[in-house]
Structure 1
Amino acid sequence: MTRFAEWCAEVVVGCSAPHSHTMLTADASKFDAAVAIVADVVPGHFLPPSRLADMFARLQRHEVAELIQSRLPESAQLKSGDLGEVLCTTFVREKTPFTLGIKRLQFKDHRNMSMRGDDMLGFNLNLVTGKLTVLKAESKSGATMSAATVSKAREALSGYGELPSPHSMGFVADRLLDPADKALRDAIDDAQLKKSLKPKDVTHMLFVFTGNDTTTLLQTSLSGYTGAATQHYVGLRVPEHQKFIKAVFAAVGA
């Protein structure tokens, strides 16, 4: 995983329960270590581990690198957005109970196309009670984050009556093909068909990966929220944002 604690300082910003606001700031002295850690997890977000394992067993290392490179975005804007989504997904898996779901970047139509729907959905399923709870995340990445971008993310989170979009829920369920995922797939289908998912069963995460300090922007947005879903706001600041993205993708390609 991305092991944020090894290369970031973490500050919990005060807000009203049950909401939370966490700010992570990369340690400049650990830049190279951070690049290596993040680059190590990127391929698994674009290709399934079983596919990667097969490639390494059958091909030369430089051939595997070439195949991985063919899956990665080429434009600076898409690299920024995709890496932000990777970091958001790993944060959810490392820091929250919502550890079930898919890595949706594995299902991109094309390396140079953005995906539709919610940026990330995470799930927690109580196998005893059958209770399904969902995390709906919006990820934004930019060297300088603006209030307008945060507002757009806030609007997306509150869309569909605070719930995940039907498209995104169906997208996940259709790709949970492993027999071990049947319980989650059935729970997602039931939530859709029976309209059983309510805003109180949903947690929103607004995750921003930036070069500037977004503490005030996020705190202002969070304080203005009046809906029923629990809110987790997370800011990851890497002052050398653009350099970091370039270095991570260069390391993956190598």
Structure 2
Amino acid sequence: MPVFDGWCNHVDAPVGDHFLRVMTGQPAHLNAGIQATATTVPGHYASEEHVARALRRLGKLASAALIEEKLPTTNAIRSGDLGEIYATEWIDAYSGYRAPIKRLRWKDHRNMAMRGEDVIGIFQDPQSLRLRFLKTEAKSRAALTAQVLSDARAGLDKDGGLPSPHALSFISARLLELNELPIADAIDDALWKHGIPLASVRHLLFTFSGNAPDALLTAALQAYPGEADQWGVGLRVEGHGAFIGAIYDQVIANANNA
């Protein structure tokens, strides 16, 4: 079940040739959002197989410690990570693309942000086996501003608007480790054999904020002068900081009560 079900509503609107969706957490149902998100978060930091193996071999306390040691402790990193988690979950549930890895599993340190594109969604054409890409920048702020969206736009426009070779090589390497060979090979083919035309790339600007993102995302989409298709998706939750804190508290409580 998508993590947004049961506590968010959404409104879709065209912005010129682009697409805008605004999701709003319903105040009466935010506890359901906390519970659903807390169930989803651990898998973004450690594989289910890793946690289950630790539980079998080492017991509940050790498996809980494994999860807790991977969770960020600073408010800023928790906020940024959760924005990326929500973007990944939205892509997998609603976009038609697949986010093939959960990138946060490979963080250098739990209180450091990862570099590079936040998320890259991939769709493989079943006939040609060629790939289409959803290059994504995720921003999480208690108070979203035009400058934050300008920074996100700069990230999307890097490398001529294409996914960076470094980011795609990272995904390919992780997929090889996970024995997902066909999609890893398709990424390598796109990088080193076929090339990636801009027509095969769409941009997603994903925001998670305490204030309404409607007008800001609309302006950002309207101002885009380039040729890549654009999507804007904003998730608004009042009490943004307290909501994030409650989610991570619940993740820790769930791990200790497993």
State the TM-score, normalized to the length of structure 2: 0.94
Distance 1:26 1:34 in 2: 8
CA shift at 1:195, angstroms? 5.4
- Distance apart, 1:91 and its partner CA: 0.4
Alignment of 1:44-63 (within 5 A): 44-63=43-62
Q: What stretches of structure 1 of length at least 5 have no aligned partner? A: none
**Which residue of the partner structure matches residue 113 of structure 2?**
114
Number of corresponding residues: 253
| 1:190-236 C-alpha deviation (Å, 9 max, x unpaired) | 21113521111011110000000011110001011122211110000
Which residue number in structure 2 is paired with residue 9 of structure 1? 9
Cα 1:179–1:253 shift into 2, 3 Å: closer
Report the counterpart of residue 148 of structure 1 in structure 2. Answer: 147
Counterpart in the other structure of 1:247: 246
Q: Which amino acid aligns with 2:26?
A: D
Following the alignment from structure 1 to structure 2, what is the Cα–Cα distance between the partners of residues 252 and 216? 33
Q: CA deviation at 1:26?
A: 0.1
Secondary structure in structure 2 of the residue aligned to 1:101:
coil
Which residue number corresponds to residue 165 of structure 2? 166
Inter-partner Cα distance in structure 2 for 1:74 and 1:67: 14
- Percent identity over the alignment is 38
Query: Partner residue of 2:224?
Result: 225
Distance of 1:22 and 1:127 partners within structure 2: 28
Partners of 1:187 and 1:226 in 2: CA distance:
30
| 2:188 corresponds to 1:189 | yes
Could you tell me how far apart the structure 2 residues matched to 1:78 and 1:179 are?
A: 27
* 1:201 alignment counterpart: 200
Q: Is the 8 A contact 1:138 1:157 kept in 2?
A: yes
Tell me, in whole angstroms, the C-alpha distance in 2 between the residues paired with 1:239 and 1:183: 42
- Give the superposition deviation at 1:175: 0.7
Q: In structure 2, do the counterparts of structure 1 residues 166 and 92 end up closer, same or farther at CA, with 3 Å as the change threshold?
A: same
Letter in 1 for 2:11: V
Distance 1:70 1:4 in 2: 26
Cα offsets for 1:120-144 (capped at 9, x unmatched) = 0111112431211011100000100
Tell me the TM-score normalized by structure 1.
Answer: 0.95
Following superposition, the deviation at residue 179 of structure 1 comes to 7.0
Amino acid at match of 1:11: V
| Residue 75 (structure 1) aligns with | 74
Partner of 1:176: 175
CA distance in 1, matches of 2:142, 2:188: 39
**Deviates most, 225-234 or 60-69:** 60-69
Structure 2 unpaired stretches of 5+: 254-258
Is the Cα–Cα contact under 8 Å of residues 3 and 40 in structure 2 kept in the other structure? no
Alignment partners' CA distance in 1, 2:152 and 2:24: 21
| 8 Å CA contact 2:51, 2:66 repeated in 1 | no
Q: CA deviation at 1:28?
A: 0.5
Instruction: Tell me the alpha carbon deviations over residues 37-60 of structure 1, each in whole angstroms, 9 at most, x when there is no partner.
Output: 000010000001211221232343
